[in-house]
Amino acid sequence: MKKLEEKILKDGKILPGGVLKVGNFLNQQIDTPFMKEMGEEIAEMFKDTGATKILTIEASGIPIAVSAGFAMNLPVVYAKKNKTSNISGDCYSTMVHSFTHGNNNNVIVGKEYISSDDKVLIVDDFLAHGSALVGLIEICEQAGAEVLGCVAAIEKGFQMGGDKLREKGYRVESLAIIEEMTDTEIYFREQ
């Protein structure tokens, strides 16, 4: 998505440790007209796939998942992060490591919200090492639901999470893929 690449170049800030800050339009602050366009782009990618549900993870995945849900007219479910592993039996759960925060979160979804009848589209804002997506795929597997594919707004291609999932046979789409990032420059993968 050319417009997203341009927005990253214009508004993104590269912070120490390879962190890309896009807080003024994607997370913390949401540029709603542009978020609507991204949702429509996702809808276009996954039209005619028979998706029944969108799954994301709190908190920063919610805006783009809701936008895609609006465009596709699909219910959106978000997994919750939980520090404790003391989970009652009425939830699917898995452990997800956050490289950004350097901690582990137990990620949970109530069993009533995903079933074996569902064809799920997983949506998130960022895809780096892929641990959040792997966790959400695991939750779909626990539910016996079909994973149609995964979409991220911004993929950090050089952190390999997306390509590892593609090698496993999952359909993974990203609206922009950063192939390389230096302290001052960002290079995108041709799509």
CB 90 within 8 A of CB 110: yes
- In the list 7, 46, 51, 69, the residue contacting a copy of itself (rule: CB under 8 A) is 69
- In the list 8, 38, 51, 109, the residue contacting a copy of itself (rule: CB under 8 A) is 109
Hey, which bits of 51-171 come out as E strands?
A: 53-57, 76-82, 91-98, 103-110, 119-127, 146-156
- Whether omega for the bond prior to residue 153 falls within 30 degrees of 0, making it cis, is no
∠ Cα 8 65 55 (to 5°): 130
Question: Which residue, 67 or 94, has its beta carbon nearer to a copy of itself?
Answer: 67
DSSP 97: E
Task: Give the distance from CA 17 to its chain's centroid.
Answer: 21
Is residue 12 a contact residue for a copy of itself (CB under 8 A)? no
Amino acid of residue 11: D
Is residue 190 a contact residue for a copy of itself (CB under 8 A)? no
Task: Give the distance from CA 104 to its chain's centroid.
Answer: 17
Q: How many angstroms separate the CA atoms of 191 and 183, rounded?
A: 24
Is residue 23 a contact residue for a copy of itself (CB under 8 A)? yes
Is residue 4 a contact residue for a copy of itself (CB under 8 A)? no
Backbone angles phi, psi at 34, to 5 degrees: -70, -40
Is residue 175 a contact residue for a copy of itself (CB under 8 A)? no
Q: How far apart are CB 185 and a copy of itself at their closest, in Å?
A: 23
Q: How far apart are CB 150 and a copy of itself at their closest, in Å?
A: 19
Residues 27-46 that bind a copy of itself (CB under 8 A): 28-33, 35-36
Is residue 145 a contact residue for a copy of itself (CB under 8 A)? no
Question: Which residue, 24 or 163, has its beta carbon nearer to a copy of itself?
Answer: 24
**Residue whose pair of structure tokens reads 């074996």 in the numeric block:** 116
Is residue 49 a contact residue for a copy of itself (CB under 8 A)? no
Give the residues lining the site for a copy of itself (CB under 8 A).
23-24, 28-33, 35-36, 58-59, 62-63, 66-67, 69-70, 73-78, 80, 109-110, 112-113
